[in-house]
Copies of this chain bind each other. A is one copy, B any other.
């Protein structure tokens, strides 16, 4: 049943700024609940830059990539929900689908779950061993095979943008501020528009990305590099927005997000807060602003978002503005690191 008799090609971390594509042992099946997925498309994520730049410490030999879609090649004896030949989306975390947290829709806290990459197979590879396949994989219609760039963001950035909107309690008719014009920020704009926010103020400093934000449904944009950016938002919203979506995870973006929240409002933060040292708790307290962030339970959101992607209502594919072959993954990391690409798609097969 193992199709890659002599190993598979996969991206491997060696050192900061040194990711290589090498032949590694065949992914195969280990447990009866596993599936083996042949990857068709993978992506490189802004959060991959944390280990790429050496901010988070990784060991040589760790696999990279947590976003991939593909075709099921083989399944273990206990797998019921997918079969060989199925086109599937893998959320960036695997999960059993049955524990307390999965039942609540918080799959990223699954008691048996985990993340791709590191000591596990990474998504930037020809094939991936998927544990807990029934709980993890979401099949998608074969007819979407000619729109894989629209499907690939369902693995992470689109659900993560949606999570920012959910955590910021975005509602139809409301005013949302999105801090950040990266792939997640842009997907947060898509999500806020989808929920029906009437005003969406996108904040960033890249003109091309802000233009894309407008295409995705932002009603106005502001430049995050302006010294008086928080005053501008407060003025534009007459005292702050009820829904603030923080999609960066840096100190300045978090400070801005908290400042521009309206009394009683919510800040949904989904940028990994790796470099946020301080939170202005007094400011949150004085205005009853809720700080609600977290790792998106992508698995919970994929079905509803996929449905809108399949119908053509949503198309997040423009966030993938650079495509490389699997052997080009190192170039893809460089393009992400230098901000030449919003997000890189890896065309694997």
Cβ-based interface call for A292 (8 A)? yes
* A297→B288 CA distance, assembly (Å): 9
Residues of B within 8 A of A141 (CB): none
Protomer copies: 2
Residue-wise interface mask of A (161-177) relative to B, using a CB-CB cutoff of 8 A (1 in contact, 0 not):
00000010000000000
Cβ-based interface call for A286 (8 A)? yes
Chain A 256-284 interface residues, beta-carbon cutoff 8 Å to B: 263-264, 269, 272-274, 276, 278-279, 281-282, 284
Binds B, one of A102-110, A190-198, A323-331, A334-342: A102-110
Instruction: Kindly identify which residue among B109, B264, B284, B295 contacts A293, using a CB–CB cutoff of 8 Å.
Output: B284
Cβ-based interface call for A17 (8 A)? no
Q: Is the CB of A281 within 8 A of B276?
A: yes
Cβ-based interface call for A285 (8 A)? yes
Chain A 126-176 interface residues, beta-carbon cutoff 8 Å to B: 167
Q: Is the CB of B109 within 8 A of A264?
A: yes
Min Cβ gap A275→B in Å is 10
Cβ-based interface call for A290 (8 A)? yes
Residues of B within 8 A of A288 (CB): 106, 108-109, 167, 293-295, 297
Residues of B within 8 A of A286 (CB): 294-295
Cβ-based interface call for A287 (8 A)? yes
* A274→B285 CA distance, assembly (Å): 10
Using a CB–CB cutoff of 8 Å, the interface residues on chain A facing chain B are 101, 104, 106, 108-109, 167, 254, 263-264, 269, 272-274, 276, 278-279, 281-282, 284-295, 297
Given A106-B264, A109-B264, A109-B288, 10 further pairs, Cβ under 8 A? A104-B264, A106-B263, A108-B288, A167-B290, A269-B285, A272-B285, A273-B282, A274-B282, A284-B293, A285-B294
